[in-house]
Amino acid sequence: MAVNEYPFPKMHPVKGVKLTAVCAGIKKINRRDVVLFELAEGSNVAGVFTKNAFCAAPVTVCREHLAAASIRYLIINSGNANACTGEQGLLDAKATCAAIAELKGIDAAQILPFSTGVIGEPLPLAKITAVIPEALASVNENGWDDAGAGIMTTDTRAKGFSEQFEYQGKVITVNGIAKGAGMIKPNMATMLGYIATDAKIAQPLLQELAREAADKSFNRITIDGDTSTNDSCILIASGQVDLPEVKASAGELYEKLRATIIAAYVYLAKSIVSDGEGATKFVTVAVSGGANRDECLAVGYAVAHSPLIKTALFASDPNWGRIVAAIGYAGVDSLDANKVRVHLNDVLIVENGGRAATYTEAQGQAVMNGAEIGININLGRGNFVETIWTTDLSYEYVRINADYRS
Amino acid sequence: MAVNEYPFPKMHPVKGVKLTAVCAGIKKINRRDVVLFELAEGSNVAGVFTKNAFCAAPVTVCREHLAAASIRYLIINSGNANACTGEQGLLDAKATCAAIAELKGIDAAQILPFSTGVIGEPLPLAKITAVIPEALASVNENGWDDAGAGIMTTDTRAKGFSEQFEYQGKVITVNGIAKGAGMIKPNMATMLGYIATDAKIAQPLLQELAREAADKSFNRITIDGDTSTNDSCILIASGQVDLPEVKASAGELYEKLRATIIAAYVYLAKSIVSDGEGATKFVTVAVSGGANRDECLAVGYAVAHSPLIKTALFASDPNWGRIVAAIGYAGVDSLDANKVRVHLNDVLIVENGGRAATYTEAQGQAVMNGAEIGININLGRGNFVETIWTTDLSYEYVRINADYRS
């Protein structure tokens, strides 16, 4: 069951970005499993990738190509992750790029390849290259819906974002699509995200924005703590809107664009959490009062990853003892338990090293009965704040992940 | 379902250690829920305690008393953890000690208090002090079985160890009892361990042994990564065997005693893992070839804590992609994926950055069908080795932890 629906919106076109999804029959016949982006000349592209030491072949190739050339195409296949495929995997990812480069007379480094699906199986290269001509012929500015569906694997629904704003009479668009059912299946559910705007942004600033937005979104969601071999998130600026280049010093335009890009990332990340398989609760863990960012994150992840807390959330049980225990073992140096305050939504449950005097089980129960739950922790030792989104842990989670492959 | 039974053995007496369990009616009527140890004068006691910042009141008091005095009594209650109980909790833990001290005419600091059970409820002090005279009157050298049962909470069976060896015609005994159903319920299932020998060991060496043995056992088991507010492990040397003091330079006697004490800790720790609620597999994660201890542990815990791997284990699914992904995200600096080798028991599944050429799914399936599974990871970058024990993640785990309290 998916909670807290984040609907796939009506997608506006993004000037300079054409896309499509075609059927290559990688895993299923008649499924649009290859997505192609075509970017206008002069587009800038930035990326944030998995830090997994077993990163997939396409991730390695993406990093190389982003550093080497101006990107014109992105090709994404679902159904096969091309991960843990050794040297052959690298050759296959590069061959995919070469096939496009040859047909378009460009350099292979101008293409970024992405794969998502089963780990450890050789990429069915011939199936993919066979549909590249069809994909190149069919790219169009209204292909966002097809692309959003085409990158899905175990997702129960496509994830999309589209917003426009005006600046000096010109309309700027920010679109995004993503896939991932909460990283709960690295074999099949890599997190992929593609966010595009038609504003003009130089590559270094774009990379800064891509990093900042990912840190505030995809890097703050967790279903079970596992990180995929293929996670990738790309930010595209086509520069096709007739406005000057957006610089960090540009004031209003920059701030508006930055806010919209971050909003896109956050919306897509939350869409992924809310589609976590087996999820019945959408949980926001907000840690404030930290002496630094790292300790806020350590506490947030300790709470968000605790199977004990997650099963209690599934049971709608306001089991504050488990929350307190997780805060306590998060490894925060010299944490003074007496200064920690914990709220469930706005209900104070813990202070002075124990249950708040004002707290009643009925108050906690009322919060836990909802589908959206906020666990708000103040460490009482500084001004840093971090927020993490996660889900509960249900029978369904075990069933899906135990039954998968059987 | 408990796996891999570690039977409770016939317990030999340990000279100088008397114990008993009596009924205080803390949570249930007619349950022996208060355990008392009486130690001969001259006994030495060492302890290792939870690092949880929300450590329970008795843990704080134990630390104080161990530093201040020679210990003569240990009192343990189940049914209430006296954790997150603030200032009153400390007063209650101290009052328990004072009640014994007054009756025996000793200092309150000579008593160590322990509690396990529900977090956040005030300790029912009067019920405990009411049964202290009965407990003092009933301690005896054959009370190990009752004590082993008395400290249980959600455990499905008592955990015990008892071994003897001879040295220069004298018999030395090492006994131990422990409780904890895999730390999967910090509210109810704190890990407690009491290991006792009648050998004579000075306190500093005893503390060293207690630390080393805990590091090789209780600190290497994980069911779900959660650490309780009350975890405590105590090592007692009564010194009542007619042999000279055991020193680290003593050669054979020291080595034999050390090995037996470590064996006791390891047996008890494995007993706890095998009693993990919902566990259907006993899993040993052995990480070798590390450049240091920390990176072996980081990889071991990443694998042992991964819900994706644990659900695959439950499903008897040789899902090597999930294992590889967890190794990859464990955060080992500059890990060369091509040098990592992974075996399931003795079946090579991963090498050269991908699935081993010799590997067949049938081989992996054969390993996974067993109740005891070894995940053996060689990082290929050094000589350090660490071993962690854990279980799978089953429907039953979710049921128990979701239903508890409801």
Token reading at A374: 């906020």
Contacts of A311 in chain B (CB under 8 A): 397-398, 401-402
| Given A190, A284, A390, A391, the catalytic residue | A190
Domain segments of chain B as ranges: 17-274, 282-403
Respond yes or no: is residue A229 known to be catalytic. Answer: no
Please indicate, yes or no, whether the overall pTM of this predicted structure exceeds 0.80. yes
Do B306 and A226 make contact, defined as CB atoms within 8 angstroms? yes
Enter the ipTM. 0.80
Q: How does pLDDT run across B300-343, given as a tens digit for each residue?
A: 988 988 888 888 888 888 888 889 988 998 989 999 999 999 99
Question: Looking at per-residue confidence, does B388 or A175 come out higher?
Answer: A175
* Contacts across the A-B interface (CB distance below 8 Å): 213
Residue B393: closest CA among A15, A393, A181: A393
User: What CATH code is assigned to B17-274?
Assistant: 3.60.70.12
Strands A192-197 and A232-237, bridge-based pairing: parallel
Least confident of A90-94, A394-398, B121-125: A394-398
Q: Which of B324, B336, B351, B394 to mutate to test the interface with A (most CBs of A within 10 A)?
A: B324
CA distances from A320 to A105, A378, B186, B396 (A): 62, 14, 11, 22
C-alpha–C-alpha distance, residues A290 and A386, integer Å: 9
Residues 6+ apart with CB under 8 A from A369: A316
B332 → closest Cβ in A53, A186, A315: A53
| Contact with chain A for residue B228, Cβ under 8 A | yes
Nearest CA distance, B185 vs chain A (angstrom): 7
Residues 6+ apart with CB under 8 A from B68: B109
Q: How does pLDDT run across A87-130, given as a tens digit for each residue?
A: 999 999 999 999 999 999 999 999 999 999 888 889 999 999 99
| Contact with chain A for residue B362, Cβ under 8 A | no
pLDDT class of B225 with cuts at 50, 70, 90: low
Query: Tokens 């550093």 appear where?
Result: A67
Amino acid at A86: G
Least confident of A377-386, B1-10, B196-205: B1-10
Do residues B234 and B194 touch, judged by C-beta distance below 8 A? Answer: yes
pLDDT class of B344 with cuts at 50, 70, 90: very high
Nearest CA distance, A289 vs chain B (angstrom): 16
Helix (H, G, I), strand (E, B) or coil at A73: strand
Residue A376: closest CA among A310, A284, A314: A284
Q: If you average pLDDT over residues A22-29, what whole number do you get? A: 94
pLDDT class of B395 with cuts at 50, 70, 90: confident
CA distances from A401 to A309, A395, B311, B363 (A): 19, 10, 6, 21
Judge whether residue B389 has pLDDT over 50.
yes
Residues 6+ apart with CB under 8 A from A150: A21, A32, A33, A34, A35, A76, A78
The CATH number of B282-403, from 3.10.20.340, 1.25.40.80, 3.40.50.720, 3.30.465.10, is 3.10.20.340
